[in-house]
């Protein structure tokens, strides 16, 4: 199965994407984690994106798309994948459509939580880009660039909305049940 997780920063996308990937035996592919790994090991991509990540802006599409399309050619993706953090704007949706076509996604899981819950969770998490200014910028960027994707994928009949507030186990279980019903 090919699944995209969508939701605001702090909604628990990464946590559930990882758990669902394990349950289904397919790789969890997180663009944020990939970029952070590049920053940590000081690759040339890492050096180019470090500043952007700390501000909470989006990395330019050319860099993101190239990194992702390369990752999606790895053999572990043949039976499916969980995308977490890509596509994150309309241009990236079109890049994925162009590269993989209509078969790129079977479902889009949209996790939901209020802004108060999101801000509280992110500030508690304490990643290096989880400072006040970066967090509010990421929430804004999400609303402006990423939230419109929900509409695009809803029109394609792919969206499963799941409440992201509650026990982690219970939320993952709800997601797995919704996916099994497809
Ligand atoms: P969060 O969902 O909390 O913002 P992520 O780990 O998904 O955390 O992303 C961290 C950062 O990585 C983003 O703020 C952005 O700078 C960069 N990033 C991740 N995915 C993309 C993408 N698809 N396009 C551009 N930048 C991205």
Q: What is the pLDDT along the chain (182 residues), one digit of tens a residue?
A: 999 999 999 999 999 999 999 999 999 999 999 999 999 999 999 999 999 999 999 999 999 999 999 999 999 999 999 999 999 999 999 999 999 987 899 999 999 999 889 988 998 888 888 888 888 899 999 999 999 999 999 999 999 999 999 999 999 999 999 999 99
Partners of 14 in the β-ladder: none
Residue 173 CA to residue 155 CA, distance in Å, equals 25
Task: Give the pLDDT confidence score for residue 128 in this predicted structure.
Answer: 87
Task: Give the pLDDT confidence score for residue 175 in this predicted structure.
Answer: 98
* 7 in contact with ligand 1, CB cutoff 6 A: no
Task: Give the pLDDT confidence score for residue 101 in this predicted structure.
Answer: 86
* 92 in contact with ligand 1, CB cutoff 6 A: yes
CA of 144 to the centre of ligand 1 (A): 14
* 31 in contact with ligand 1, CB cutoff 6 A: yes
User: Dihedral of CA 1/146/111/152: which sign?
Assistant: negative
Q: Which of 59, 63, 91, 136 to mutate to test the pocket of ligand 1 (most atoms within 8 A of CB)?
A: 59
* 56 in contact with ligand 1, CB cutoff 6 A: yes
Task: Give the pLDDT confidence score for residue 173 in this predicted structure.
Answer: 98
Q: Which of 8, 31, 55, 96 to mutate to test the pocket of ligand 1 (most atoms within 8 A of CB)?
A: 31
Task: Give the pLDDT confidence score for residue 102 in this predicted structure.
Answer: 74
Between the alpha carbon of residue 137 and those of residues 47, 74, 81, 89, 150, the distances in Å are 21, 33, 29, 15, 20
């Amino acid at each position: 199965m090919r699944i995209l997780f969508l939701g605001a920063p702090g909604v628990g996308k990464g946590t559930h994407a990882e758990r669902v990937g394990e349950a289904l035996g397919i790789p969890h592919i997180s663009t944020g984690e990939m970029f952070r790994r590049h920053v940590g090991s000081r690759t040339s991509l890492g050096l180019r994106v470090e500043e952007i990540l700390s501000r909470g802006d989006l990395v330019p599409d050319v860099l993101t798309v190239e990194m992702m399309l390369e990752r999606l050619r790895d053999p572990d993706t043949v039976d499916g994948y969980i995308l977490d953090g890509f596509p994150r704007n309309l241009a990236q949706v079109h890049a994925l459509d162009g590269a993989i076509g209509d078969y790129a996604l079977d479902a889009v899981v949209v996790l939901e939580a209020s802004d108060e819950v999101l801000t509280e969770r992110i500030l508690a998490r304490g990643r290096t880009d989880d400072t006040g200014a970066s967090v509010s910028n990421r929430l804004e960027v999400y609303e402006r660039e990423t939230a419109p994707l929900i509409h695009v994928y809803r029109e394609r009949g792919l969206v499963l909305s799941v409440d992201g507030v509650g026990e982690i186990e219970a939320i993952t279980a709800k997601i797995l049940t919704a996916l099994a019903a497809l």
